[in-house]
Structures are given as structure tokens and as C-alpha cells.
Structure 1
Amino acid sequence: MGALIFSLNLTLDGCVDHREGIADDETHAFFTRLMDEAGAMLWGRVTYEMMESYWPAVARDEQAPPAERDWAVKLEAKPKYVVSSTRRDFPWTNSHHIAGDLRDGVQRLKDATPAGVLLGSGRLATELDRLDLIDEYQMLVHPRIAGHGPTLHQGGLPGTRRLELVSAEPLRNGVVALHYRRAR
């Protein structure tokens, strides 16, 4: 069984608005490495639609910045799983729908993906954390205070999650890469 790894950009005050992060070669390389190591991607519908509206065109654009294009090309080939109760059709290459019971669907995906599943949706992460399905957290904390939301786990959790630090690595751009594992 593979791990479910939640990874996202967030500001020092917990804002997960994708427009607030530093999108440079270093952060793209970080997420490209995580994606390379994982066997599949997992998103909610909103994140999937945001990604679907941008990255396929970057993968085809030979003039795109190299770090962005590298990410986009690899993302195009990676299996992508989407949790949605409102959308059924996911035409982007290698996209699959997870329907029915959330716990069962995500557990089956973890069981079938020994290299692990990379989760990149904040609201979905809250639901999966409530179900005790997230095994690791790999966050990029950006040196910014956004002063607005959405924030990480804004909907709350039933209790505190204890984590064990695996690594902390400052990047040249001031971002800190944090890797935690659930304390069981």
C-alpha cells in the first residue's frame, strides 16, 4: 500500500490561495520531484479544473519556461484521480473519477499505488484528514503573510493531528520545504 502525501503551497499565516506563492524554477522543481516519486495525483474537482485549464497547454508549448514545461509534460503522463460529486467527465489525459464512498475510493487508490499518491487539494485534504487517510505532509511555506483565505483546514478537524518532522529545508527563494509524517 502506498502513502497518501498531502502537498501544497501555503503562506506563513496558512493561506493556500495558489496566487500567493512564489512560482519559480525552484518551487516547480520541488513539486516535479514529488510528482516523479509518486504513482498518481489526487485532486478535488475545483483543483482539477484549475489545473486542466492551464497545464495541458503548457505541456504543448515549446516556448514555455523549461521548469514549467517539465512539470506540465510529466503531469500530462501521470495518472490523475479526481473526487467529485458534481462532475463525471474528465477528458484530460490519464484522468480518472473516484465516485462513491470517499474513504473506500481513496483507500483503494492507496492500495493500488505502491509508489504513493500525491494529494494537492486543500478542501479535499480536510475531508481525507477527518477520515485518517493522510500519511505524510510535504508543504512549501512561503515567506509571505497573505492576510486572507482560504486557509489550510479552514473547515476544522475533530482533533489535533500529531506529526513527526522528517525534514526541513530552506530554499534559496526564502521558501521552507517541510516534510512531516503522521505520528501513529
Structure 2
Amino acid sequence: MRKVIFGINLSLDGYFGHTGMLPDEDVHRYFTALLSHGSHILYGRVTYELMVPYWPDIAKSQSEDASSNEFALVFDSLEKVLFSKSLKQIEDKNTKLATGNLADEVTVLKQQTGKDILVGSLSIASQLSQLHLIDEYHFVIHPVIVGNGPKLFDTLKLQEGFQLDLLSSKTFKSGVIANHYKRHV
């Protein structure tokens, strides 16, 4: 069975956004490696619209630094599954608009053969965490205090906490720390 993996940047004060967090080459390489283990990435509308068409355009133009260009190519190759009630059609060739409920769609994907399923959206990660459908978490902690922004479980109250087991930790020269956890069973 395929794993569902959530990876995201966050500030020291626990905010999951992009304010004050500037991914460097090491961070891009880390997420490129993570994405290369997957075949699908799940999104809600807001994050999807931040990522697409930006990264597919970079994949075509190769107009950024080498690590960003490589990230863009890997990102563009993934099948994206978009969960949105407001969007009715998608123009990106690698995006499927999900028609079923989140739990059912993810359960079907997990049972298929292939590479891992990635989660690229905070709202989707919150819901899947509540449903105990995320197998691994990659929290990339930036040495910055931002003071505000989105948090995990902002829009959803976690009914019951759960334990994570640390699999690895890596510190980059910038002071960014990437922690990799699996859900404790």
C-alpha cells in the first residue's frame, strides 16, 4: 500500500506559510527529493492556485536557479488531485478535479500500486490527519519568527491527538531543520 506523506515549511513560532521563509538551494533540493518519491500530490484550491501555473511555467522556461528549475520539473511531472467545491474545470494537463469525498479518494489512491501520495495543502493535511490517513510528516522549520499566518488545524479542530516517531533530522547551513516523522501505530 502506498504512503501518504505531508511536507511543509514552517516558522519557529509554528506558522505554515511563506512569510519570511525563503527556501534556499538546500530546501529546494530537500523538497525535490521528497517529491521524486511520489506520483500524486493532493491540493485544496488556495494552495493549488499558488503553485499552478507558477511551477509548471518555471519547468517550461527553466528561468530560475538550478535547484528551483529541478524542483519545478519534478513538481510538473506529478499528477495533481485538486479538492475544490468552487472550481468546476481545470486547465492544467496534470490535474484531476476530485469528485468524491477526501477520505474515499485517498483510500482508493493508497490501494493502487505506484509511488507515494504527497499532500501539498494545509487544509487537506489537517483533514487527513484527523482521519489518520497521513503516514509521514516532513516539517521543514525555518529560523524565523513571523507572528502570524496559517496553522495546522486552523479550520479543523483535531478530535484526538496522536504521537509521531522521529525518523530523521537534517540541519542545513542556513539553520533550517528538516524533521521527518512517521505516525506512531
**TM-score with structure 2 setting the length:** 0.93
- CA shift in 2, pair 1:113/1:121, >3 Å: farther
Unaligned 5+ segments in structure 1 are none
Q: Which runs of 4+ in 1 moved over 3 A?
A: none
List per-residue Cα deviations over 1:65-84 (Å, max 9, x = no partner).
11111111222221111111
Check if 1:14 corresponds to 2:25.
no
Write the mapping of 1:1-184 to structure 2, written as runs, cut at 5 A. Answer: 1-154=1-154, 155-184=156-185
Task: Provide the rounded CA distance (Å) in 2 between the counterparts of 1:113 and 1:38.
Answer: 12
Count residues with an aligned counterpart: 184
Task: Provide the rounded CA distance (Å) in 2 between the counterparts of 1:22 and 1:124.
Answer: 23
Q: 8 Å contact 1:6–1:138 — kept in the other structure? A: yes
Identity rate of aligned residues, in percent?
35
Deviation at 1:46, TM superposition (A): 1.0
Task: Provide the rounded CA distance (Å) in 1 between the counterparts of 2:122 and 2:23.
Answer: 18
Task: Provide the rounded CA distance (Å) in 2 between the counterparts of 1:44 and 1:10.
Answer: 18
Task: Provide the rounded CA distance (Å) in 1 between the counterparts of 2:109 and 2:87.
Answer: 19
Unaligned 5+ segments in structure 2 are none
Matched to 1:61, the amino acid is S
Q: 8 Å contact 2:7–2:119 — kept in the other structure? A: yes
Give me the CA root mean square deviation: 1.4
Deviation at 1:125, TM superposition (A): 0.8
**TM-score with structure 1 setting the length:** 0.94
Q: Secondary structure at the match of 1:67?
A: helix
Matched to 1:166, the amino acid is L
